[in-house]
Structure 1
Amino acid sequence: MNINNKEILERANAAVAAGDNEGFLSFCTDDVKWIFVGDQTLEGKDAVRQYMAATYLEPPRFMVENLIAGDEFVTAIGTISMKDADGEMVDYAYCDVWRFRDGKMAELKAFVIKTGPK
Protein backbone atom coordinates (compact mmCIF):
# COMPACT_ATOMS: atom_id res chain seq x y z
CA MET A 1 0.00 0.00 0.00
CA ASN A 2 1.38 3.37 -0.98
CA ILE A 3 0.12 6.21 1.20
CA ASN A 4 1.49 9.71 1.42
CA ASN A 5 3.08 11.33 4.46
CA LYS A 6 0.00 13.43 5.20
CA GLU A 7 -2.17 10.29 5.37
CA ILE A 8 0.43 8.54 7.55
CA LEU A 9 0.27 11.42 10.04
CA GLU A 10 -3.54 11.39 9.99
CA ARG A 11 -3.56 7.64 10.75
CA ALA A 12 -0.95 8.05 13.50
CA ASN A 13 -2.95 10.87 15.13
CA ALA A 14 -6.12 8.77 14.93
CA ALA A 15 -4.30 6.01 16.83
CA VAL A 16 -3.32 8.46 19.61
CA ALA A 17 -6.87 9.83 19.79
CA ALA A 18 -8.10 6.23 20.21
CA GLY A 19 -5.63 5.62 23.04
CA ASP A 20 -3.49 3.31 20.88
CA ASN A 21 0.01 4.59 21.62
CA GLU A 22 1.64 1.46 20.18
CA GLY A 23 -0.37 1.94 17.01
CA PHE A 24 0.99 5.48 16.82
CA LEU A 25 4.55 4.27 17.41
CA SER A 26 4.23 1.80 14.55
CA PHE A 27 4.29 4.82 12.22
CA CYS A 28 7.61 6.04 13.72
CA THR A 29 11.20 5.09 12.97
CA ASP A 30 13.06 3.30 15.78
CA ASP A 31 15.34 6.33 16.15
CA VAL A 32 12.49 8.88 16.13
CA LYS A 33 13.29 12.21 17.75
CA TRP A 34 10.78 14.58 19.35
CA ILE A 35 11.98 18.13 19.97
CA PHE A 36 9.68 20.24 22.14
CA VAL A 37 11.11 23.69 21.42
CA GLY A 38 12.14 25.41 24.63
CA ASP A 39 11.42 22.33 26.75
CA GLN A 40 12.87 18.88 26.08
CA THR A 41 14.06 16.43 23.45
CA LEU A 42 13.11 12.74 23.33
CA GLU A 43 15.28 10.33 21.37
CA GLY A 44 14.12 6.88 20.30
CA LYS A 45 10.84 5.00 20.41
CA ASP A 46 11.26 3.95 24.04
CA ALA A 47 11.66 7.57 25.19
CA VAL A 48 8.54 8.58 23.22
CA ARG A 49 6.65 5.56 24.59
CA GLN A 50 7.52 6.56 28.18
CA TYR A 51 6.54 10.18 27.51
CA MET A 52 3.18 9.14 26.06
CA ALA A 53 2.47 6.80 29.00
CA ALA A 54 3.22 9.57 31.50
CA THR A 55 1.58 12.46 29.63
CA TYR A 56 -1.43 11.00 27.85
CA LEU A 57 -3.28 9.96 31.02
CA GLU A 58 -6.25 9.64 28.72
CA PRO A 59 -6.23 10.15 24.97
CA PRO A 60 -5.68 13.79 24.01
CA ARG A 61 -8.27 15.58 21.89
CA PHE A 62 -6.88 17.07 18.67
CA MET A 63 -8.35 19.67 16.38
CA VAL A 64 -6.18 19.94 13.30
CA GLU A 65 -6.78 23.23 11.52
CA ASN A 66 -4.22 22.82 8.73
CA LEU A 67 -2.02 20.04 7.39
CA ILE A 68 0.62 21.26 4.98
CA ALA A 69 2.71 18.67 3.13
CA GLY A 70 5.82 19.13 1.03
CA ASP A 71 8.71 16.80 0.24
CA GLU A 72 9.59 14.85 3.40
CA PHE A 73 7.81 17.29 5.73
CA VAL A 74 4.25 17.61 7.03
CA THR A 75 3.27 20.56 9.22
CA ALA A 76 0.21 20.29 11.45
CA ILE A 77 -1.34 23.38 13.04
CA GLY A 78 -4.15 23.12 15.55
CA THR A 79 -5.18 22.70 19.13
CA ILE A 80 -4.86 19.87 21.60
CA SER A 81 -6.56 19.33 24.95
CA MET A 82 -5.32 16.85 27.52
CA LYS A 83 -5.48 16.19 31.22
CA ASP A 84 -2.64 17.31 33.44
CA ALA A 85 -1.33 15.44 36.50
CA ASP A 86 -4.21 16.90 38.58
CA GLY A 87 -6.82 15.56 36.16
CA GLU A 88 -7.69 19.01 34.82
CA MET A 89 -8.17 19.53 31.08
CA VAL A 90 -5.63 21.97 29.65
CA ASP A 91 -5.78 23.48 26.17
CA TYR A 92 -2.77 24.14 23.94
CA ALA A 93 -2.15 25.60 20.50
CA TYR A 94 0.49 23.72 18.55
CA CYS A 95 2.50 23.68 15.37
CA ASP A 96 4.14 20.31 14.70
CA VAL A 97 6.71 19.96 11.94
CA TRP A 98 7.22 16.28 11.09
CA ARG A 99 10.10 14.98 8.97
CA PHE A 100 9.52 11.61 7.31
CA ARG A 101 12.04 8.99 6.26
CA ASP A 102 11.17 5.90 4.23
CA GLY A 103 7.45 6.28 4.89
CA LYS A 104 7.77 6.71 8.66
CA MET A 105 7.82 9.67 11.03
CA ALA A 106 11.48 10.28 11.91
CA GLU A 107 11.50 13.66 13.68
CA LEU A 108 9.07 16.06 15.29
CA LYS A 109 9.76 19.70 16.06
CA ALA A 110 6.85 20.84 18.22
CA PHE A 111 5.95 24.40 19.16
CA VAL A 112 3.34 24.17 21.93
CA ILE A 113 1.72 27.06 23.82
CA LYS A 114 -0.74 26.65 26.67
CA THR A 115 -3.92 28.60 25.91
CA GLY A 116 -6.32 27.28 28.54
CA PRO A 117 -6.60 27.80 32.27
CA LYS A 118 -3.96 26.76 34.80
Structure 2
Amino acid sequence: MEGREKLLRKLNEAFADCNTKFLADSVTDDIRWIIVGEKIISGRSEFESSLDRMKHGGPMQITVSEMISHQERSIVEGVVEFQVEPGKKRKYAFCDIYIFSGNKGKVKELRTYVTQIKKA
Protein backbone atom coordinates (compact mmCIF):
# COMPACT_ATOMS: atom_id res chain seq x y z
CA MET A 1 0.00 0.00 0.00
CA GLU A 2 3.04 2.29 0.11
CA GLY A 3 2.49 3.35 -3.52
CA ARG A 4 -1.18 4.05 -2.84
CA GLU A 5 -0.37 6.21 0.20
CA LYS A 6 2.10 8.20 -1.88
CA LEU A 7 -0.56 8.75 -4.56
CA LEU A 8 -3.15 9.80 -1.95
CA ARG A 9 -0.69 12.33 -0.53
CA LYS A 10 -0.05 13.68 -4.04
CA LEU A 11 -3.79 13.94 -4.73
CA ASN A 12 -4.36 15.91 -1.52
CA GLU A 13 -1.38 18.15 -2.27
CA ALA A 14 -2.85 18.74 -5.75
CA PHE A 15 -6.20 19.73 -4.21
CA ALA A 16 -4.40 22.08 -1.79
CA ASP A 17 -2.30 23.65 -4.56
CA CYS A 18 -5.19 23.76 -7.07
CA ASN A 19 -3.13 21.56 -9.42
CA THR A 20 -6.07 20.80 -11.67
CA LYS A 21 -3.96 19.12 -14.37
CA PHE A 22 -2.61 16.47 -11.98
CA LEU A 23 -6.09 15.85 -10.57
CA ALA A 24 -7.68 15.53 -14.03
CA ASP A 25 -4.90 13.18 -15.15
CA SER A 26 -5.51 10.98 -12.07
CA VAL A 27 -9.14 10.08 -12.81
CA THR A 28 -10.94 7.87 -15.31
CA ASP A 29 -13.06 9.37 -18.09
CA ASP A 30 -16.23 8.21 -16.31
CA ILE A 31 -15.26 9.63 -12.89
CA ARG A 32 -18.06 10.18 -10.37
CA TRP A 33 -17.43 12.67 -7.58
CA ILE A 34 -20.20 12.46 -5.03
CA ILE A 35 -20.19 15.34 -2.58
CA VAL A 36 -22.62 13.73 -0.16
CA GLY A 37 -25.73 15.81 0.49
CA GLU A 38 -24.73 18.39 -2.10
CA LYS A 39 -24.15 17.18 -5.66
CA ILE A 40 -22.85 14.51 -7.98
CA ILE A 41 -20.25 15.38 -10.59
CA SER A 42 -20.15 12.89 -13.47
CA GLY A 43 -17.54 12.50 -16.20
CA ARG A 44 -14.16 14.04 -16.83
CA SER A 45 -15.54 17.23 -18.40
CA GLU A 46 -17.78 18.06 -15.44
CA PHE A 47 -14.97 17.08 -13.04
CA GLU A 48 -12.54 19.45 -14.77
CA SER A 49 -15.12 22.28 -14.69
CA SER A 50 -15.52 21.81 -10.95
CA LEU A 51 -11.75 21.89 -10.50
CA ASP A 52 -11.54 25.14 -12.50
CA ARG A 53 -14.08 26.74 -10.13
CA MET A 54 -11.98 25.54 -7.20
CA LYS A 55 -9.03 27.62 -8.45
CA HIS A 56 -10.90 30.85 -7.70
CA GLY A 57 -10.63 30.19 -3.96
CA GLY A 58 -6.87 29.90 -4.25
CA PRO A 59 -4.58 27.47 -2.48
CA MET A 60 -5.84 25.64 0.58
CA GLN A 61 -4.20 24.07 3.57
CA ILE A 62 -5.03 20.38 3.95
CA THR A 63 -4.00 18.43 7.02
CA VAL A 64 -4.43 14.68 6.65
CA SER A 65 -5.01 12.86 9.92
CA GLU A 66 -5.72 9.31 8.71
CA MET A 67 -5.31 7.13 5.62
CA ILE A 68 -6.69 3.63 5.25
CA SER A 69 -6.43 1.46 2.13
CA HIS A 70 -7.91 -1.92 1.32
CA GLN A 71 -7.90 -3.39 -2.18
CA GLU A 72 -9.36 -0.78 -4.57
CA ARG A 73 -10.63 1.56 -1.82
CA SER A 74 -8.82 4.19 0.21
CA ILE A 75 -10.09 6.57 2.86
CA VAL A 76 -8.50 9.91 3.71
CA GLU A 77 -9.64 11.94 6.70
CA GLY A 78 -8.51 15.42 7.60
CA VAL A 79 -9.13 19.15 7.81
CA VAL A 80 -9.11 21.66 4.98
CA GLU A 81 -8.76 25.40 5.54
CA PHE A 82 -9.12 28.10 2.92
CA GLN A 83 -9.62 31.81 2.63
CA VAL A 84 -13.17 32.86 1.71
CA GLU A 85 -12.30 36.56 1.58
CA PRO A 86 -9.33 38.67 2.68
CA GLY A 87 -8.71 38.04 6.36
CA LYS A 88 -11.47 35.42 6.69
CA LYS A 89 -10.78 31.69 6.67
CA ARG A 90 -13.00 28.66 7.06
CA LYS A 91 -12.16 25.16 8.25
CA TYR A 92 -13.90 21.97 7.24
CA ALA A 93 -13.48 18.40 8.43
CA PHE A 94 -13.57 15.95 5.54
CA CYS A 95 -13.54 12.27 4.79
CA ASP A 96 -12.86 11.19 1.21
CA ILE A 97 -13.42 7.68 -0.06
CA TYR A 98 -11.43 6.96 -3.21
CA ILE A 99 -12.37 3.99 -5.38
CA PHE A 100 -9.70 3.10 -7.89
CA SER A 101 -10.07 1.50 -11.28
CA GLY A 102 -8.41 -1.90 -11.03
CA ASN A 103 -6.52 -1.95 -14.30
CA LYS A 104 -5.61 1.75 -14.65
CA GLY A 105 -4.85 2.72 -11.06
CA LYS A 106 -6.87 5.90 -11.54
CA VAL A 107 -9.72 7.22 -9.42
CA LYS A 108 -13.09 6.13 -10.80
CA GLU A 109 -15.18 7.38 -7.88
CA LEU A 110 -14.62 9.88 -5.11
CA ARG A 111 -17.09 10.27 -2.25
CA THR A 112 -16.60 13.36 -0.12
CA TYR A 113 -18.19 13.89 3.29
CA VAL A 114 -17.57 17.39 4.58
CA THR A 115 -18.77 19.59 7.44
CA GLN A 116 -17.77 23.05 8.56
CA ILE A 117 -15.88 23.34 11.84
CA LYS A 118 -17.53 26.12 13.80
CA LYS A 119 -15.72 28.08 16.45
CA ALA A 120 -16.38 26.82 19.97
**Common topology (TM > 0.5):** yes
Counterpart CA distance in 2 for 1:32 and 1:22 is 15
CA RMSD of aligned residues (A): 1.8
Q: What is residue 112 of structure 1 aligned with on the other side?
A: 114
SS across alignment from 2:18: coil
Paired letter, 1:58: G
Q: Is 1:83 aligned to 2:83, yes or no?
A: yes
TM-score, normalisation: structure 2: 0.84
Q: What is residue 70 of structure 1 aligned with on the other side?
A: 70
Q: What is the Cα deviation at residue 15 of structure 1? A: 2.3
Q: Is 1:9 aligned to 2:8, yes or no?
A: yes
Q: What is the Cα deviation at residue 52 of structure 1? A: 1.8
1:98 and 1:108 in contact (8 A); partners too: yes
Q: What is residue 38 of structure 2 aligned with on the other side?
A: 39
Larger % of helix: which?
2
Flag structure 2 segments of 5+ consecutive residues without an equivalent. Answer: none
Higher alpha-carbon deviation: 59-68 or 46-55: 46-55
1:73 and 1:97 in contact (8 A); partners too: yes
SS across alignment from 2:90: strand
Flag structure 1 segments of 5+ consecutive residues without an equivalent. Answer: none
2:31 and 2:107 in contact (8 A); partners too: yes
Aligned residues: 114
Paired letter, 1:44: G
SS across alignment from 1:4: helix
Identity %: 24
Cα distance change on mapping 1:36 and 1:20 into 2, 3 Å: same
